[in-house]
Amino acid sequence: MTADELKVAGRRFRTRADYEAGLRDLTKINKIKSGTDLDDPVSIYQLYSDLLNGTYRFETAVGTDFDDEIYEKVELLKKRGITAENAAALSKGKAIAKNRASKTGKTNKQKQASLSAPKTSAKRTSVKALHEYDETMQKEILSEMKRAEKRRKGIVAVASLIALLCFGYFGIYYYQLSRTNTDYEKLSELKDNGKEHYFFSGQEQVKVHKTNQELPDILPEYKILYEKNKKLIGWLKIDDTIIDYPVMQTENNDYYLDHNFDQEYDKNGSIFLDCNCSVYPRSTNLIIYGHHMKSGSMFGNLQKYAKESYGKEHKYIQFDTIYEKGTYEVMYVFRSQVFQKDDMVFKYYQFTNANSEAEFDSYMAEMQKLSLYDMGVTAKYGDSLITLSTCDNSQTDGRFVVVARRVS
């Protein structure tokens, strides 16, 4: 087979293996399309969500083209004012209208048939009244009615209790979410106003990370926050996203899984730096963790980077340590997982320092191989990196990872 013949869905492939991977992608896409109504907004948004969440994974650019096709359909729906929230209501409205039209047509046919049919007399079967039964039968009927009423009341009571518990759970959840968002907004205000309003003297040196060196001065905007909680190690922000949070660090990676900045229990947890990393002296790669919350908080929207267009629109990440500011450019986006201890594979979460150029280049090659797309950004030995990591439900112990290189 010649190179010109190695084409799938308009894409030309260089090798037979790539060509076969393209065929597999095309087969998967055809199967998805056959099971999805691409004229239904609800189905389109659901498919779009599945693609973002990694439910469907592709091997070649054929899959990327399909991903772009669905993205364009979603953008077209948004331009028409159809969002993921109101799509279901619109689809239901169309279904009701169609059903009514169908019933109206059926009723008209029945009327026509009734007018054309010959009139006949028919006896109607009526249900007996209770007093028409004998006394024994009346008692049995009344007894059964009482049992049925008790069952009905029991079902209503259980359903009401379940509903009350559900409302209570969601009430608490959304209260905590609202409180968390409000708290972080206040922290952000403290950060923004810190440089102007805080006068710091007699700074206490607290060793949050492992170093015997004298620590530099804390940046003015972080001094107020640092006084509130000395586990603060920096601040992470991505423009035009919900990610705008303080970054914490402790001697283990467990505490901030379920505690907020104020050290209260919070299922949202906090954004935190791996305990094996050091901001001063600086580790080669700073690994930052956050929960993938369904509400979108923390790293709940990080998986939007699975789409290349989103990655290129949000390619810059601001990560300040409490000692210095930093801007980073996205290099790699990939899916991985937490492996067994003895598995001989690349474990991104163990890459904090590179002891040589060869070791650094090896890490870069592994991440480039995993990356979902090419951002055209490379790094060399001596560059500083950050890695954002969150859970990924597309596989067991899955992780979704964004790696960026410091540019300023």
Mean per-residue pLDDT over the chain, rounded: 82
Q: What does the pLDDT read at residue 205?
A: 42
Q: Are 40 and 57 in contact (CB under 8 A)?
A: no
| Helix, strand or coil, per DSSP, at residue 117 | coil
Q: What does the pLDDT read at residue 200?
A: 39
Confidence of residue 202 (pLDDT cuts 50, 70, 90): very low
Q: Is the pLDDT of residue 77 over 70?
A: yes
Q: What does the pLDDT read at residue 364?
A: 97
From residue 222, give the alpha-carbon distance in Å to each of 187, 189, 194, 233, 317: 10, 11, 7, 9, 18
Q: What does the pLDDT read at residue 90?
A: 65
Confidence of residue 197 (pLDDT cuts 50, 70, 90): very low
Q: Is the pLDDT of residue 5 over 80?
A: no
Q: What does the pLDDT read at residue 91?
A: 60
Q: Is the pLDDT of residue 408 over 60?
A: yes
From residue 235, give the alpha-carbon distance in Å to each of 74, 150, 243, 319, 325: 33, 59, 10, 6, 9
Of 130-134, 147-151, 244-248, which range is least confident?
A: 130-134
| Chain centre distance of CA 378 | 27
Q: How many CB atoms lie within 10 A of CB 179?
A: 14
Question: For 163, phi and psi rounded to 5 degrees?
Answer: -60, -40
**Average pLDDT of the segment spanning 140-156:** 80
Cβ neighbours for 280, distance < 8 A, ≥ 6 positions apart: 209, 211, 213, 215, 216, 321, 323
- Alpha carbons 211 and 271: distance in angstroms, whole number: 22
Instruction: Tell the residue number behind the tokens 């890459």, with chain if given.
Output: 351
From residue 400, give the alpha-carbon distance in Å to each of 187, 299, 313, 385: 27, 10, 18, 17
Q: Rounded to two decimals, what is the model's pTM? A: 0.58
Q: What does the pLDDT read at residue 168?
A: 65
Of 27-41, 82-96, 194-208, 251-265, which range is least confident?
A: 194-208
Q: Is the pLDDT of residue 189 over 80?
A: no
Q: What does the pLDDT read at residue 171?
A: 63
- Alpha carbons 160 and 164: distance in angstroms, whole number: 6
Q: Is the pLDDT of residue 388 over 80?
A: yes
Which residue did the predictor score with more confidence, 26 or 14?
A: 26
Q: Is the pLDDT of residue 54 over 50?
A: yes
Q: What does the pLDDT read at residue 193?
A: 67
Question: For 270, phi and psi rounded to 5 degrees?
Answer: -140, 165
Q: What does the pLDDT read at residue 133?
A: 67
Strands 285-289 and 385-392: parallel
Confidence of residue 198 (pLDDT cuts 50, 70, 90): very low
- The tens digit of pLDDT for each residue in 347-372 reads 999 999 999 999 999 999 999 999 99
Q: Is the pLDDT of residue 20 over 80?
A: yes
Confidence of residue 250 (pLDDT cuts 50, 70, 90): very high
Q: Are 261 and 306 in contact (CB under 8 A)?
A: no
Q: What does the pLDDT read at residue 76?
A: 87
Cβ neighbours for 408, distance < 8 A, ≥ 6 positions apart: 326, 327
Rg (CA), the chain: 31
Cis peptide bond upstream of 281, omega within 30: yes
Cβ neighbours for 279, distance < 8 A, ≥ 6 positions apart: 209, 233, 234, 273, 286, 321, 322, 323
- Domains, the chain: 3-79 (no CATH), 188-406 (2.40.260.10)
Of 89-98, 178-187, 215-224, which range is least confident?
A: 89-98
Cβ neighbours for 295, distance < 8 A, ≥ 6 positions apart: 177, 268
Q: What does the pLDDT read at residue 204?
A: 42
Q: Is the pLDDT of residue 97 over 80?
A: no
Q: What does the pLDDT read at residue 393?
A: 86
User: What single string gives the DSSP state of each residue in 180-200?
Assistant: HHHHHHHHHHHHHHHHHH---
* Helix spans in 199-354 (H): 220-228, 308-313
Q: How many CB atoms lie within 10 A of CB 350?
A: 12
Confidence of residue 1 (pLDDT cuts 50, 70, 90): low
